[in-house]
Amino acid sequence: MHIAIAGNIGSGKTTLTKLLAKHYKWDRLEEVVDNNPYLFDFYKDMQRWSFNLQIFFLNSRFEQLLEIHRSGRNVIQDRTIYEDAYIFAPNLHAMGLMTTRDFENYFRLFKNMESAVTPPDLLIYLRASVPSLVSQIAERGREYENGISIDYLKRLHERYEAWISTYDKGKMLVVDVDENAFHTNPEDLGRIINSIDAEIHGLFPNEAPAKTPAGKKAAKAAPRKKVLARKK
């Protein structure tokens, strides 16, 4: 079983990865941050180091997916290979921080990698407003993130929303971080876990299977999306 957690910078991916891995007693694959040789340089000079950084992330994510396939282990993965290709790299290109030549080269490499890997069994998207992202980034106090601008987070947020609206690789659970304090509230975390259990076992609460008229073949089911927010 492969569950991947997607979301903007500061949305709580690493926290949820740790909490779910502990609950299910599964392995966790975290994003390479502390040992990333380009991250500090990137935030000081994005234009110079954008291509290098994105290639590093793309390769590390590809290595993780190959390891998941080889091992057959149950895994919770922090961030997906799709976010690199459909959000971060094109955003840098649109901002003029990555040349068209580099971006096209990068994207061709991604498409080759994508054809060799399997999507996650379940994607969890952490949807968070920009003010929530700013607050959580400040709270964790990573030095290299001090230079992240609100405009940069807004651009990423828009791309995340556009990408998630067309995601068709498989099952997806959307968690509204503004309304779900899973990092401090056990009840909120429990609701996420219950929803994951339902998705893993192929159950969709409050949803009856669609009936197919006699004589007609059932259409191929579209990937399902469930949105989870705190009940009020």
Residue 129 lies in a domain: yes
Catalytic residues: 78
Residue 138 lies in a domain: yes
The pLDDT of residue 227: 62
The pLDDT of residue 204: 47
Residue 197 lies in a domain: yes
The pLDDT of residue 218: 38
Residue 137 lies in a domain: yes
CATH number at residue 66: 3.40.50.300
Query: How many structural domains compose the chain?
Result: 1
Residue 148 lies in a domain: yes
For the chain, state the CA radius of gyration. 18
Residue 78 lies in a domain: yes
* Terminal Cα-to-Cα distance of the chain (whole angstroms): 32
The pLDDT of residue 72: 87
Residue 211 lies in a domain: no
Mean pLDDT of successive 10-residue stretches along the chain, which has 232 residues:
94 94 94 80 91 94 92 93 95 96 97 94 96 86 74 94 95 94 92 92 50 41 53 40
Q: Which domain holds residue 21?
A: 2-206+219-228
Residue 70 lies in a domain: yes
Centre a 10 Å sphere on the Cβ of residue 20 and count the other Cβ atoms it contains.
20
Q: Give the list of residues 6+ apart from residue 226 with CB closer than 8 angstroms, or none.
A: 172, 173, 174, 195, 199, 204
Q: Give the list of residues 6+ apart from residue 50 with CB closer than 8 angstroms, or none.
A: 42, 92, 97, 98, 102
What does the DSSP 8-state code read for residue 177?
A: G
Q: How much is the pTM?
A: 0.83
Q: Is 147 helix (H, G, I), strand (E, B) or coil?
A: coil
